[in-house]
Amino acid sequence: MADIFISYANEDKETAARLAGFLESIGWSVWWDRRIPAGRTWRSVLQEALKDMRCMIALWSRDSVESPWVAEEAEEARKLGKTLVPILIQRVEPPIGFRTIQAADLVNWDGSRDDPAAKMLIADLESLLGKPAAQTAERNRIVETRDVESPRPPPFRGSKSGWLIAAIAGIAIVSLLAGWQKWMGPKQVNRAQLPPAQVDNLQKVPAPRLIGLALSGERSEIKPSEMLKLRLLANYSDGKQDDVKDKIEWTSSNSNVATVNERGEVKGLRVGSVNITAKSGDVVSSAWTLSVKAAEPVVEPVAAPKLVAVDISTSRNELIANEKILVRAKGRYSDNSEKFLSTSVDWETSDRTIASISEKGQLETLRPGRVQILARSGHLRSKPLTIVVRETEMKEQPQAKSPRPLEPRPVTPPLLSEQSRAQISAFTTRAKIFREQGNYAAALAELDKAKAIDATNEDVRTEIEQTKRACNAEKVLGNKLTC
């Protein structure tokens, strides 16, 4: 059972080897060499190592954060309940799902035990695994490469002249052999020219085997008629990874939802979910799930109605000097709607000495005369409104007094019950609301109900007069109303 399992990308193998040697020199056992023993599969060896380890070190770099194998190993360790110790060897952000775990920083590690980052890592591992046992003299996991030495010939014994002759002969043989190899070229050297021990070592090195396939795509959702290129990554028994680009058998679990061609291009056909697999040789990848979702309907923006005309009006066209009145501008739009304009209106008067008007439409008369008022909004211009200013109000001619008729005796109004007074108050309140809304017919109808209960009620009579005056003022402006 290994104390530590190191997960890394193939591009970071040198860094992983250096870290493994460092940790083993301290006394921990480390599983990092991905060589597969004869008769075993990659999956079985990997699962066994993950199950037996005490903790996992994940080396995060620009290559490992993009590697599906490193992410899969880290996720498997988390499922098994093993402690994950992430280490940054480059300035990168760990993949989603592993960013909440504090990572050790070995980006600038010099390889020594005295480095502050290495000391901190050792302290963290000791708190997790305990202090390591004494360093073992032999590590079965490490495959040592030893130079194959030819058996040495027995020492040559003889006279000094014999030594001289042997040296000259040796030099001649070496020179002839070197010249022959140079003439024949490196390609002519075959295994027959090598010592038997080296030939045996060459024959024992097996070719790397394909042990796994990882399928991925830039997105996991597409729309109908949309294409997506898939990537197939191969993992070999020597720990190397490479893209597979040919001799691939692609399969879609539902060709009605999405199809995949020989180039690994998936095309969505209709809404649904589908599993895509790839096969290279005898190895089949895990299923990669793709969702085909309906395209969102395009919502055409609704054009805002345009202002097509401007009309102005006032409650009276004849005024006296030094009087103020409000002139209102009403806009008419392309959708036949109308509304009063409170902004973006410029007012003009034909004679500022007779009357002036503010930016809010407040007209003030100055002296007697006739003046025209108009409003502008953008490129639109209203029809002119004529205002006549008189000096004073017309005085009514006194009429001859007629004999005052005898007034009838005042009729004492009957005493009303509490319920009748409440009904009159309700009718009057609703009538005021209708009057303020401009619904004069409804207001007068409510007042008629109140008048039927008590014709002498002063509040009812006052409200009737106010409603009729307001209605008549609207009729002067050209509105067709019934008062």
Total number of domains in the chain:
4
Q: What is the CATH number of the domain that holds 102?
A: 3.40.50.10140
Longest dimension (CA), the chain: 181
Instruction: For the chain, give the mean pLDDT.
Output: 81
180 compared with 276, residue with greater pLDDT? 276
Q: How confident is the model at residue 180 (pLDDT cuts 50, 70, 90)?
A: very low
Measure CA of the first residue to CA of the last residue in the chain; give whole Å.
102
State percent of the chain over pLDDT 90: 40
According to the model, what pLDDT value does residue 399 have?
57
pLDDT at 146: 32
pLDDT, position 7: 93
Average pLDDT of span 105-131: 89
User: Which whole-number Å values give the CA distances from 318 to 321, 364, 391, in the listed order?
Assistant: 10, 12, 11
Q: Are residue 365 and residue 454 in the same domain, yes or no?
A: no
- For the cut 80, the answer to whether the pLDDT of residue 237 exceeds it is no
Per-residue pLDDT at 309 exceeds 80: yes
For the entire predicted model, the pTM comes to 0.32
Average pLDDT for 72-100: 89
Considering the domain boundaries, does residue 176 fall inside one?
A: no
- Report residue 171's pLDDT band, with 50, 70 and 90 as the boundaries: low
- Whether residues 109 and 71 fall in one domain: yes
Stretch (H or E) spanning 251? strand 249-252
Is 178 a residue whose pLDDT tops 80? no
Tokens 């005369």 appear where? 369
471 lies in a domain? yes
In a domain, 51, yes or no: yes
CA 325/CA 234 separation, integer angstroms: 87
Whether pLDDT at 63 is above 50: yes
Average pLDDT over residues 445-454: 88
Distance CA 32, CA 16 (A): 7
Q: What pLDDT, on the 0 to 100 scale, is given for residue 127?
A: 86
Token pair recorded at residue 401:
């007094």
DSSP code, position 66: G
Residue 203 within a domain: no
- pLDDT band of residue 159 (cuts 50, 70, 90) is very low
Residues 121 and 11 in one domain: yes
Angle, alpha carbons 99-102-104 (nearest 5°) = 120
Query: The CATH number of the domain where 351 resides is what?
Result: 2.60.40.1080
How far is the CA of 60 from the CAs of 39, 88, 99, 100, 156, in angstroms?
Answer: 32, 5, 11, 14, 59
Shared domain check, 120 and 30: yes
Model confidence at 196: pLDDT above 80: no
Residues 426 and 322 in one domain: no
Asked if the structure places residue 270 within a domain, the reply is yes
Domain shared by 236 and 264, yes or no = yes
CA dist., res. 238 & res. 398, Å (int): 124
Give the pLDDT of residue 482: 72
One domain, residues 78 and 116: yes
Which pLDDT score is estimated for 173? Answer: 54
Contact 43, 19 (CB under 8 A): no
Given a cut of 50, whether residue 141 has pLDDT beyond it is no
pLDDT in the model for residue 405: 57
Q: How far apart are CA 417 and CA 454, in angstroms?
A: 11
Structural tokens at position 266: 């998936």
Same domain flag for 278 and 379? no
My answer on whether 378 and 432 are in the same domain is: no
Predicted confidence at residue 139, as pLDDT, reads 43
Do residues 311 and 270 share a domain? no
Residue 106 lies in a domain: yes
Residues 27 and 86 in one domain: yes
Q: Which of 350, 374, 390 is the endpoint of a domain?
A: 390
Q: What pLDDT does 149 receive? A: 36
Give the domain range for residue 314: 307-390
Q: What angle do CA 79, 230, 284 make, to 5 degrees?
A: 60
Residue 204 domain-assigned (yes or no) = no
In a shared domain, residues 48 and 115:
yes
Element (H, E) at 374: strand 369-377
341-387 pLDDT, tens digit each: 988 899 999 999 999 999 999 999 999 999 999 999 999 999 999 99
* C-alpha closest to that of 367 among 349, 348, 346, 385: 349
- Considering the domain boundaries, does residue 241 fall inside one? yes
